[in-house]
Amino acid sequence: MCTLSSLPVAFQYAESFTCHAETLDRESNAEHRNGFPRERELFGRLSMDDQDDSPDRSAHENAGQDPQTTPPGSSESDTSTPAVPASRSKPGPQPKVARLISEYDRELAGVGDELEARWTNPETDASLRSLADWFNEQLLRAVLTAAGIETITEDVSHLYAVLSGETGSRGERTQLERRLERDGVAVETVTDEFVSYGAIRSYLTGYRNATAPSRTDGPSAAATARTIEELRQRTVSVTESKLDRLQETDQLRVGPRRVFADVQVLCERCGKQYDVADLLESGACDCYEP
Name the residue ranges covered by the structural domains of the chain: 1-42, 96-211
Report the C-alpha gap between 147 and 161 in whole angstroms: 20
Q: Which residues contact 130 (CB under 8 A, 6 or more apart)?
A: none
Number of other CB atoms surrounding residue 257 within 10 Å: 9
Number of other CB atoms surrounding residue 185 within 10 Å: 19
- Cβ atoms 263, 275 nearer than 8 A: yes
- Cβ atoms 98, 115 nearer than 8 A: no
Report the C-alpha gap between 270 and 287 in whole angstroms: 6
H or E stretch at 123: none
Threshold 0.75, pTM exceeds: no
Of the chain, the end-to-end C-alpha distance in Å amounts to: 146
Report the C-alpha gap between 80 and 85 in whole angstroms: 16
SS3 (DSSP) at 27: helix
Report the C-alpha gap between 34 and 77 in whole angstroms: 54
Query: Residue 230 has what pLDDT?
Result: 83
Instruction: List beta partners, residue 266.
Output: 273
DSSP 137-163: HHHHHHHHHHTT--SSSS-HHHHHHHH
Query: Residue 217 has what pLDDT?
Result: 57
Q: What angle do CA 259, 263, 266 make, to 5 degrees?
A: 140
Query: Residue 14 has what pLDDT?
Result: 47
H or E stretch at 47: helix 37-50
- Cβ atoms 264, 276 nearer than 8 A: yes
Query: Residue 25 has what pLDDT?
Result: 55
Report the C-alpha gap between 150 and 88 in whole angstroms: 35
- For residue 274, give the DSSP letter: E
Distance of CA 104 to the CA centre of its chain: 16
Per-residue pLDDT of the chain (290 residues; tens, 9 = 90+): 444 444 444 444 445 545 544 555 555 554 444 444 444 444 444 444 444 444 444 444 444 444 444 444 444 444 444 443 344 545 557 899 999 999 999 999 999 999 999 898 877 768 899 999 999 999 999 999 988 888 765 688 889 989 998 887 888 899 999 999 999 999 999 999 999 999 999 999 999 999 887 765 566 787 788 888 888 888 888 888 888 888 888 899 998 888 999 999 999 989 999 999 889 888 889 888 65
Angle at which helix 170-182 crosses helix 156-163, to 10 degrees, equals 120
DSSP 184-245: T--HHHHHHHPPPHHHHHHIIIIIS---PPP-TT---HHHHHHHHHHHHHHHHHHHHHHHHH
SS3 (DSSP) at 121: coil
**Sequence letter at residue 186:** A
